[in-house]
Amino acid sequence: MLFFLPVLCLGWILRRRGAWFKWFLVLVSLFFYGQLGVNYLALLLLVAAVNWGTVRLVASSEREATRKWLVAGDVALHVCLLAFYKYAEPLFLLLTELPLGNGCLHQWLMESGMGDVVLPAGLSFYSFMGLSLVIDHYRDRTLPPRSFPDVLAYVSFFPTIMAGPIMRGKQFFPQLQRTRAEASDFNEGICYILSGLFKKVVLATFLSRNLVDPLFEMPDSYSSTAALVGIYAYTIQILCDFSGYTDLAIGVARLMGFRLPQNFESPYRSLNLQEFWRRWHITLSLWLRDYLYIPMGGSRRGNRYVNLIVTMVIGGLWHGSGLNFLIWGFFHGLGLAVVHAFHSLRDRMSLFSRFDGRGWSITGKVLAWVLTFHSVAVLWVFFRAGTFDEACGVFRSVVQGGGSGSFDLRILLIIALVLVMQWVGPACFSRFAALMARLPWVVQALVAGVLGGAILAMGPEGMLPFIYFDF
């Protein structure tokens, strides 16, 4: 808040001054990101400069082959950066175990510092934004290349740099020209911030500290019931944690006069995995679809089921290098392939027309929801566990139990509350925002302050890092 309040005020003062506002936005974003370490700024500036230069070269080149090579080079650079930072540590551990060179290799690796490489926060997200900028300019030659301050403001925008949502250039650049604020931006921005704080500070942190973290650290210490509730608890925790961050980002950006794309739309009310990925981490799902799945052939060229599985496997490996992430991505891809196959069969055979989701009976919808929700919940275990063996330990605890560990009954209340909010939450948010809009601004500020203070008071001391900061 000490950072944001002066930024908010100065930002709107400079909004009418064009270039002044852009450079102001760049400077405050670099200052914000620089709190993690000055060395991270160099990598951010490199990514911005490379993408800016590539866009200008692509726009000025007349030869199609040259344009393709420029884009390929930009993609290769980003892939190498991500691969190095995400896989340096596991590669280091693998190489140190090889009995080569009478221990010389081990000694050289220990002295090289390769094992100390840390993934720069936000690298995945601003890399994806930079890549989309280059590829969009390659696909559409009518798009004008942007100035370097524009591109730097785009990739470094402080509400999104840590964990998205992943914006496209066509969503961001027109908003740089806005010079007037709308009352709804301030009203809804405050409501989004309160929503994000409640999800993260109260719900996600409580679930993590009171069951999820202890369960995954010592699964053998818990009974079957507690382990099963723990899986449900993490399923709710990751939603509250990530959608809470997204709400905070959307709210802060809205106060600054920027409208970010929605990233979550009640994903746990989905009736199949295809619908789930249309509602969960929407900007990443669309990015993978537009820049990976469709270029591989999508549903028009090659085998669309293979394309789906490969896309999700790559999405899993993007999250981490362990076998557990590979399994998570593979089974989500397999589930998507099954859904697509079922839809294809339904369209060809009128016998299955009654299974169209819009015409299902209540029983059919409930069964579809139960199957989808539990498929997602089971796969979240692989996502949360540090290794494949840890995931197996949690499943073994569910089946065999044996421990005496229990859980706080309030966890069941939170799980039920969040699931119910998947259906009624959007309407509740709209009504609360409409109610706030009818109040005088002084009363709005007072209500926001009281609710914000109450949320912080309900939360425990300190706050755990956001889950997606790891990626």
The pair of structure tokens assigned to 356 is 């169209």
Q: Show me where the domains of the chain are located.
A: 4-180, 184-470
Neighbours of 24 (CB within 10 A): 18
Nearest CA among 442, 326, 435 for reference residue 379: 326
> What's the pLDDT at 401?
79
Using CA atoms, how far apart are residues 219 and 188, in angstroms rounded to an integer?
41
Identify the pLDDT of residue 446.
Answer: 94
Kindly tell me the burial class for residue 251, based on how many C-beta atoms sit within 10 Å of its own C-beta (0-12, 13-18, 19 or more). buried
Q: Around Cβ 306, how many Cβ atoms within 10 Å? A: 13
User: What pLDDT sits at residue 100?
Assistant: 55
Structural contact between residues 214 and 192, judged by C-beta atoms closer than 8 angstroms: no
Mean pLDDT by 10 residues, the chain (471 residues): 91 87 95 87 94 95 92 94 81 64 54 66 92 95 92 95 93 88 87 96 94 93 94 97 96 95 96 96 96 89 90 91 92 95 74 52 90 97 92 93 81 96 95 92 92 90 80 80
CB 250 within 8 A of CB 430: no
Tell me, what's the pLDDT at 97?
64
Cα–Cα distance measured from residue 52 to residue 134, given in angstroms and rounded to the nearest whole number? 8
Q: What is the CA radius of gyration of the chain?
A: 24
Catalytic residues: 319
pLDDT recorded at residue 405: 74
b/e sequence 398-432, b meaning 16+ C-beta within 10 Å: beebebebebeeebeebbeebbebbeebeeebeee
